[in-house]
Chains A and B, each alone.
Chain A
């Protein structure tokens, strides 16, 4: 069984929009969702549909995984890459990538994205945060006024 699995050379990931990515097994090691799929099959080649992840996002995630799976890259180079990676993402990308990381069950990428999202919403207004996550306020006008007052105090 173990020998068969190690013989898998290429894994094909199919994104929601039909775009196809061929990657080496070590790249998907962190994607627990994909990994459990592979474990169930005993074929030499596998193709895995990922209906919750778009091609653009999957391309970014694979890029991240490649960099972090590489043994030649130094710690500093990886940190530099992370920094640039976050800078490159637009606000909405971050939320979608976080959802993808959650779906793919990728622990360290999840942590990475969680930090990015937290940084995105810190120092922002209540309206920005609501808008960003598409949350409607369910407070009464009185409660709103009270919370606004507390916020003014918090940033005095």
Chain B
């Protein structure tokens, strides 16, 4: 109904109008007077991400452009995209909140994102992932609320939250990863009716979830990471399996297998993959960064982080060859692992001041636009 109205308005303006209801297509006004739109895009897409909010406020056409897939893919294709880090935290009232860090800024500081749907702020065990220009908050449960299949997404271009396609299975405290442009929600605790050995995949192009099942998937999940095009999941200890073990998903066969035990033995903390190398932060005695050497099949200490700056428990995220170690109150230490030759030394890195409050960091993700 509304689309018909748009066409009508344009006909009244005396503009040639086709059946195309996309406002961007119908409007004849160029983005910049005297320039073809592709040339305008060539210029505007070169404006750093920090100033996109200014471009969005110029006119409706500019806003639609900056929020469009065309903009997102153009910047990605021409390597103009810039990565910001998004951190899911729990504040002193036990409420979930989301902070953002512009990694390209010279004066780095964490900033609160507004508009998180209020009724999910008390949820625990939610999945948190970034796919395309969107963040996803999936599932979760509360002390009086069973596991849910609800999904919310935050569009980082338009800075808005919307409800997204529901999970196939209600989940809480599960693994959530992105691989090959698809979102994976794996294992965790479900509702009574849900299958404890299942995982769901989300395809953004069809906007739909598909459910899968494998006996190697267990409800107790501690951590997950994507490496070499495979998803690794560290499973929780149970009476049946008193030792730490992990399962790995092979997309080629679509099955879950037990992962290399030597590799898993050193996976004792938050993990991140940089250039195909798995790094783990061991927080048992101070904070020490270690890496898994694939050829030698052993864990190698990379370095000890300054106890004055890191405030465990931390989460890890990588931007380029830099690992961001994000701890309590979002106190952040940046460690460059581009040159891992300097082993065993206390590593120097830049640091980003913590917030006033001692928020706990649940999860951190990167999103590039």
A114 touches B35 (CB 8 A): no
In the complex, what's the smallest C-beta–C-beta distance from A64 to chain B, in angstroms?
A: 17
Q: Is the CB of A122 within 8 A of B58?
A: no
A42 to B56 CA separation, bound complex (whole angstroms): 49
A122 to B44, CA, bound (A): 10
Q: Which residues of the partner chain B approach A151 to less than 8 Å between Cβ atoms?
A: 53-54, 57
Would you list which residues of chain B between 132 and 187 have a CB under 8 Å from chain A? 159
Query: Cβ of B48 < 8 Å from any Cβ of A?
Result: yes
Q: Contact check, A156 vs B111: say whether CB atoms are below 8 A apart.
A: yes
Docked CA distance A49–B332 (Å):
60
B277 within 8 A of A: no
| Interface residues on chain B, size class | 20 to 34
Q: Given A98-B35, A98-B39, decide whether A148 and B51 contact each other with a Cβ distance below 8 A.
A: no
The answer on a CB contact under 8 Å between A124 and B43 is no
Q: Is the CB of A129 within 8 A of B54?
A: yes
Residues of A with C-beta under 8 A to B56:
147, 150
- Is B55 located at the chain interface by the 8 A CB criterion? yes
Contact present for B39 and A129 (CB under 8 Å)? no
Inter-chain contact B114/A153, CB cutoff 8 Å: yes
Do B59 and A139 touch across chains, with their CB atoms under 8 A apart?
Answer: yes
Contact call B32/A147, Cβ cutoff below 8 A: no
B-contact 0/1 string along A12-27, CB 8 Å cutoff: 0000000000000000
Q: Which of B33, B34, B46 contacts A118 (CB 8 A)?
A: B46
Tell me if B294 counts as interface (CB < 8 A to partner A): no
Q: Hey, what's the 0/1 contact readout for A118-143 against B, CB within 8 Å counting as 1?
A: 10011111100110011111110000
Known: A102-B39, A110-B39. A126 touches B33 (CB 8 A): no
Is B57 a contact partner of A118 (Cβ separation < 8 A)?
Answer: no
Q: Check A154–B47 contact: CB distance below 8 A.
A: no
Answer whether A135 and B59 are a contact pair too, CB < 8 Å, given A126-B54, A153-B111, A153-B114.
yes
Q: Which of A98, A113, A129, A153 contacts B58 (CB 8 A)?
A: A129
Contact indicator B59/A137 (Cβ below 8 Å): yes
Tell me which of A118, A126, A148, A153 contacts B43 (CB under 8 A): A118
| CB–CB A125/B58 < 8 A | no
The residue of chain A having its C-beta at the shortest distance from the C-beta of B39 within the complex is A102
- B44: which A residues are within 8 A, CB to CB? 118
A36 to B18, CA, bound (A): 33
- A114-B58 contact, Cβ under 8 Å, with A122-B48, A122-B51, A156-B111: no
Q: Which residues on the B side are within 8 Å of A139 (C-beta)? A: 57, 59-60
Query: Do residues B43 and A98 form an inter-chain contact, with CB atoms below 8 A?
Result: yes
Determine if B321 is an interface residue (Cβ-Cβ < 8 Å). no
Q: Tell me the minimal C-beta distance from B277 to chain A in angstroms.
A: 34
Residues of A within 8 A of B62 (CB): 135
Q: Tell me, yes or no, whether B50 is within 8 Å of chain A by CB.
A: yes
Complex CA–CA separation, A136 to B58 (angstroms): 8
Do B46 and A102 touch across chains, with their CB atoms under 8 A apart?
Answer: no
The answer to whether B53 touches A110 (Cβ under 8 A) is: no
Q: Which residues of B contact A99 (CB under 8 A)?
A: 34-35
8 residue pairs of the A-B complex, CB under 8 angstroms, read: A110-B42, A124-B51, A134-B33, A135-B62, A136-B59, A138-B59, A147-B53, A154-B53
Q: A126-B58, A129-B58, A154-B50 are in contact. List 16 more A-B contacts (CB 8 A).
A: A98-B39, A102-B39, A110-B42, A111-B42, A114-B39, A114-B42, A117-B46, A118-B46, A122-B51, A124-B54, A130-B58, A133-B32, A133-B58, A134-B33, A147-B63, A153-B53
